[in-house]
């Protein structure tokens, strides 16, 4: 099923469409979510929340503003960041046992292969070191642009400009 056919079915709220939507995008969205949410169970919960948001908010998708995949990727990223910033999530992280830290370390070792699985790591490695640093902070660590500016000790406007230029470089590498 093509993406366009899928969108038509989703707009009609066809139940089969949800299954197709999940099958087409779950792995790549989970990879993105897992970069930010290190706990697998929490990442799975966020993935479920993302698909519910996609299903309920499809009428807000505007094809003229970007690709569908980019739209759902932003939903996944923003939902993950919201989860990271939530009070309940922060409190649950304070109560982790040492066993969980071992699992987190093991999961982070698998992280590189997950990102490589969607092919992004190779493209990001081609960018300038400053771009790699900014993309890492903004997209993989969930920093806001303001937080990235403070971390890098550069003006907010510079972070925004670098981010825009870096994303354009990445698009050129990806031929998007």
Kindly state the percentage of the chain with pLDDT values over 90.
Answer: 14
pLDDT at 14: 81
Q: What value does the mean pLDDT take over residues 6-14?
A: 81
- CA separation, residue 161 to residues 56, 120, 168 (Å): 33, 21, 11
The last residue of a domain, from among 61, 95, 129: 95
Residue 143 scores a pLDDT above 50: yes
Q: What value does the mean pLDDT take over residues 116-137?
A: 75
Residue 166 C-alpha from the chain's centroid? 17
Residue 76 C-alpha from the chain's centroid? 5
Do 106 and 57 share a domain, yes or no?
A: no
Q: What value does the mean pLDDT take over residues 43-64?
A: 90
CATH of the domain at 83: 1.10.1740.10
Do 15 and 78 share a domain, yes or no?
A: yes
Do 2 and 88 share a domain, yes or no?
A: yes
Do 125 and 155 share a domain, yes or no?
A: yes
pLDDT at 129: 87
CATH of the domain at 125: 1.10.10.10
Number of separate domains in the chain:
2
The last residue of a domain, from among 95, 129, 164: 95
pLDDT at 120: 67
- Structural tokens at position 55: 């299903």
Contacts of 68 (CB under 8 A, 6+ apart): 3, 7, 61
Average pLDDT, the chain: 78
Residue 153 C-alpha from the chain's centroid? 25
pLDDT at 46: 93
Range of the domain at 91: 1-95
Distance CA 58, CA 4 (A): 13
- pTM of the predicted protein model: 0.54
Q: What value does the mean pLDDT take over residues 122-138?
A: 82
């Amino acid at each position: 099923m093509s993406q366009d056919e899928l969108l038509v079915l989703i707009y009609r709220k066809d139940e089969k469409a949800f299954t197709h939507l999940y099958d087409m995008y779950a792995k790549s969205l989970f990879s993105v979510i897992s970069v930010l949410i290190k706990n697998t169970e929490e990442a799975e919960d966020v993935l479920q929340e993302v698909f519910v948001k996609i299903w309920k908010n499809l009428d807000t998708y505007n094809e003229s503003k970007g690709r569908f995949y980019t739209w759902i990727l932003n939903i996944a990223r923003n939902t993950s960041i919201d989860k990271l910033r939530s009070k309940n999530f922060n409190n649950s992280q304070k109560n982790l046992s040492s066993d969980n830290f071992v699992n987190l370390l093991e999961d982070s070792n698998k992280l590189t292969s997950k990102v490589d699985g969607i092919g992004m790591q190779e493209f990001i490695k081609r960018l300038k070191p400053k771009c790699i640093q900014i993309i890492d902070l903004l997209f993989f660590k969930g920093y806001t642009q303001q937080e990235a500016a403070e971390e890098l000790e550069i003006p907010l406007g510079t972070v925004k400009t670098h981010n825009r230029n870096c994303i354009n470089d990445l698009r050129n590498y990806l031929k998007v």
